[in-house]
Amino acid sequence: MQGERTIRVLIAKPGLDGHDRGAKVIARALRDAGMEVIYTGLRQTPEQIVEAAIQEDVDVIGLSILSGAHNVLFPRIMELLRERGIDDILVIGGGVIPHEDIPFLKECGIAEIFTPGTPISQIIDFIKNNVKK
């Protein structure tokens, strides 16, 4: 008898910006959608995020960023994941990210970017339809 498949998500805030209200709202919404959400708190380095994702064996990493450093931090996280031989984690991003940056981030391997105002139900559906494990 197999237990039912529960989606595990790591919500992380890379970079130095100082509040995490948005990340917490998402974390709660995903929990309410039946997912197990590991919340790691503020000011995470890419190295910490990737290590936590490995130990927690998550299906999804949700990155939330407001500081504008996404063009540096997001690719770095993808690079570290590749270095560790991980290609089965769905990585999505959100926060204040200008539209013109999105194609570059997707090229780096971020599956989707959700800008402010995206209904949370859309994020939930995206995760459910795209988990790789």
Partner 1 sequence: MELVEGILKKDKKTAARLITLIEREDPKAIDALKKLYKHTGNSYIIGITGPPGAGKSSLVNELAKKMRAKGKTVGIIAVDPTSPFTGGALLGDRIRMQDLTLDPGIFIRSMASRGSLGGIAKAAYDAVNVLDAFGMDYIIIETVGVGQTEIDIVKVADMVVVVLVPGLGDDVQAIKAGIMEIADIFAVNKSDREGADKLVTEIEMMLDLSQKEFDLKPPIIKTVATTGIGIDELEAKISEHLSYIQNKGLLEQKRKEKTREKFMELIKFHISKMIFQEKGDIIETLLKDISNKVIDPYTAMEKLLQSIIKGE
Q: Which among 60, 87, 66, 51 is positioned nearest to 6, based on CA atoms?
A: 60
Can you tell me the distance from the alpha carbon of 99 to that of 22, in angstroms, rounded to the nearest whole number?
19
At which residue do the structure tokens 């996280």 appear? 77
Binding-site size for partner 1 (CB under 8 A) equals 30
Contacts for 104 with CB less than 8 Å, ≥ 6 apart: 71
- State which of residues 16, 19, 32, 128 lies at the interface with partner 1 (CB under 8 A): 32
CB of 114 to partner 1, least distance (A): 19
Residue recorded with tokens 């008898």: 1
Binding mask 82-121 for partner 1 (x = CB under 8 A): --x-------------------------------------
Binding residues vs partner 1 (CB under 8 A): 1-3, 5-6, 8, 27-28, 30-41, 44, 47-48, 51-52, 54-57, 84
